[in-house]
Amino acid sequence: MTEQPVFPPLLKGLAAGPANPVPIAIAQAERGVEAGLLVWSQTEERLRAALVLAPDTPLEQAMAGLVACAVGMQNALGVLAPPETALHIDWTGDLLLNGAHVGGLRAIAPETKPQDVPLWMVVALDLTVALPDSLEPGQTPDWTALDQEGCGEVEPIALLESWARHSLLWLNEVDEPQGRAKLYREWKGLVWKLGQDVTVRLPKAVLSGTFLGVDENFGMILKTGATTELLPLTRLLERE
């Protein structure tokens, strides 16, 4: 029987068994569940979770919640994993462990326009704990798992609990006057390929250019040839 995680008082856990927690969290959000519901699922190969948020700001600012939860995962793994483990955050929400894809985070909301204040927003986490037995070590150099990178002793439930605690701390920081700047400073040291050439995979487009930095809402400043454009984080939003 899977161990039941213990979450901070402001969060309420809901086990999804082997099912995808995202549609469950969306259905609960549509029914008007209070913010703080954390639906989770653990199998031998994957750890998945979906956190329901209720932003009171337009999506352009509210999408910082995705950044907060991504930084929360890096902080959580940093506590539990061996010290030489390097987890980076791609601007898109992907998570890279020692340079290879190990999972990611995404955001879903009923609205996607930057100026809209959403009724709810769900931040979803998907983390590869172990690669399928059908794969040989080294067969997927761009896709890895915790147990392939020296983190096999990290208990998924302990990681889920730690992620919940750290994410909640950063989500609270975003609401403070100087909190967004503090989150930026933490994120800047973790973001993947800042200042380098990148390929950005958006839900409806693939762009390439130089990742120059971000604006106050973590929108990417991307230089493509002679053109510099701003990609707001809302470009990553998925609609229910």
Q: Do 77 and 153 form a contact (C-beta atoms < 8 A)?
A: no
Q: Work out the percent of the chain whose per-residue pLDDT is above 90.
A: 89
Phi and psi, residue 84, nearest 5°: -80, 0
Condensed to tens digits (0 to 9), the pLDDT of residues 158-183 reads 999 999 999 999 999 998 879 999 99
Condensed to tens digits (0 to 9), the pLDDT of residues 32-46 reads 999 999 999 999 999
Amino acid at 17: G
Condensed to tens digits (0 to 9), the pLDDT of residues 136-145 reads 666 777 899 9
Domains of the chain (ranges; CATH) run 12-188 (3.30.930.10), 197-239 (2.30.30.100)
Across 149-153, average pLDDT:
93
Query: 89 - beta bridge partners?
Result: 95, 191
Q: Do 32 and 7 form a contact (C-beta atoms < 8 A)?
A: no
Please report the sign of the dihedral spanned by the C-alpha atoms of residue 140, residue 144, residue 150, residue 153.
negative
Q: With bands split at pLDDT 50, 70 and 90, how would you rate the model's confidence at 3? A: confident
| Per-residue pLDDT, 133 | 79
For the beta sheet containing 197-202, the strands, ordered from the edge strand earlier in sequence to the opposite edge, are 197-202, 205-214, 220-224, 227-231
Q: Using the predicted structure, report yes or no on whether residue 240 has a pLDDT greater than 70.
A: no
